[in-house]
A and B are shown apart, each in its own frame.
Chain A
């Protein structure tokens, strides 16, 4: 056997798990796709985000909080050992509102969730003036915001690079440019690639993002994931003008203002459209009027990996025990949990987190 774990998927999810397993002394081989593969890891918005998550499922809110809570330690360890620091900033984040009604309605929902979480849901509702003190560039159309103190953001590309370096440094093997054609389990798992390469391991983790839809059923998973397009904009590098991130805009550590994102059900089309770009630009200007004069330098479409209810799936295969499906749409937020907590679940230690509600049994056809 070449490894304890074979991981299909070398994005942030796969590499976070790989790095976590390597820190536990496991041998890991990651099988990754090519330069043109769909990669949420390259196109995401970079938020380490708690608010608005798990409104219907408090366990998901808690899981996001757990990850956010250990993100700094994870980022420091990974950064120190690779020299690639992910520029984590966790000093809160906003949900900006253009109407008093939506602001109050959201606050009521947060209050209910806070009660379910035993009071651990630290947020403040800021009116326009209070918000303006925090964000001098905020525009008059913004009536207020919810400031959630557990929110933050990172440079997701540096995280990806740090993970790619960290996994190798810890002795992990990453095979790039592969297309997995099949998996068999004669005696342990054997992953076959289109170029003839074979990887053998005791256990297998499918962390292939949208690729799980095709590969999952071979391993006995439903893997009901679908793409949802998010168009994202980024401006030229600007002097500091936004202090905290929001779902509308954030200023990245290099200086550009990143603006997001559309939610479009357009299959595997990851293009950008003028109406999409214009709508996002208009919203960002409504929030921060000074952005009207900023130059857009890049835009992209990225495909979110969504399940029917938007929650992650953590599932061991019944047909092929030892094969695990891990998929989520918040690979950045959950990176710390995947690196630090998920190995306990995979190894069934006493410290294993309870991920029962994230089983794909919830999608069983009734």
Chain B
């Protein structure tokens, strides 16, 4: 998933470790999560529940909901979250689907 990022970061900042879909990323602490993931080379943030189409940040201002990610079981807009240490981020639905399977066993 990590590729050469299509984005350039102008400034260097202290970084903390987060995971996205199990993969570790060092992101600038306190910065916008969506922007930081983009700069780290994440291209596809989620797949739509309607057609499984790939999506990534579109508006960066909390209006479009295309940058949705799941943190602690809650689906939220990555563009409205600041990077903090040890964030565990997954694509929406991934955790819940796992939970249902476990519970059904």
A→B interface (CB under 8 Å): 136-137, 236-241, 254-255, 290, 293, 295
Contacts and interface: CB of A to CB of B under 8 A. Distances in A.
Interface in B86-104: 92-93, 96-97, 99-100, 103-104
Contacts of B50: 237, 254
Nearest to A133: B104
* Chain B interface main SS type: mixed
A290 B92 CA distance: 15
Interface of B: 49-50, 72-75, 92-93, 96-97, 99-100, 103-104
Given A136-B103, A136-B104, A255-B49, A239 B75 contact: no
Identify whether the interface residues of A are mostly helix, strand, loop, or mixed: loop
A239 B96 contact: yes
Contacts of A137: 100, 103
A237 B50 CA distance: 9
A136 B100 contact: yes
Contacts of A293: 72-74
Contacts of B96: 238-239, 241, 290
A239 B93 contact: yes
Nearest to B70: A293
Contacts of A136: 100, 103-104
Nearest to B68: A236
Contacts of B73: 293
Among all A-B residue pairs, the 6 with the closest Cβ atoms: A136-B103, A237-B49, A239-B97, A293-B73, A239-B96, A293-B74
B93 to A, nearest CB: 5
Contacts, number: 29
A255 B92 CA distance: 13
20 contacts: A136-B103, A236-B92, A237-B49, A237-B50, A237-B93, A238-B93, A238-B96, A239-B93, A239-B96, A239-B100, A240-B100, A241-B96, A241-B100, A254-B49, A255-B49, A290-B96, A290-B99, A293-B72, A293-B73, A293-B74
Contacts of B103: 136-137
A295 B99 CA distance: 17
Nearest to A137: B103
B46 to A, nearest CB: 12
A329 to B, nearest CB: 32
A295 B72 CA distance: 13
Contacts of B92: 236
Contacts of A238: 93, 96
Most buried by A among B72, B73, B97, B103: B103
B13 to A, nearest CB: 31
Nearest to A297: B65
B103 to A, nearest CB: 4
A94 to B, nearest CB: 17
Nearest to A293: B73
A236 B99 contact: no
Nearest to A132: B103
Given A136-B104, A236-B92, A240-B100, 9 more contacts: A137-B103, A237-B49, A237-B93, A239-B93, A239-B96, A239-B97, A254-B49, A290-B96, A293-B72
B82 to A, nearest CB: 19
Nearest to A235: B75
B102 to A, nearest CB: 9
B74 A295 contact: yes
Nearest to B105: A136
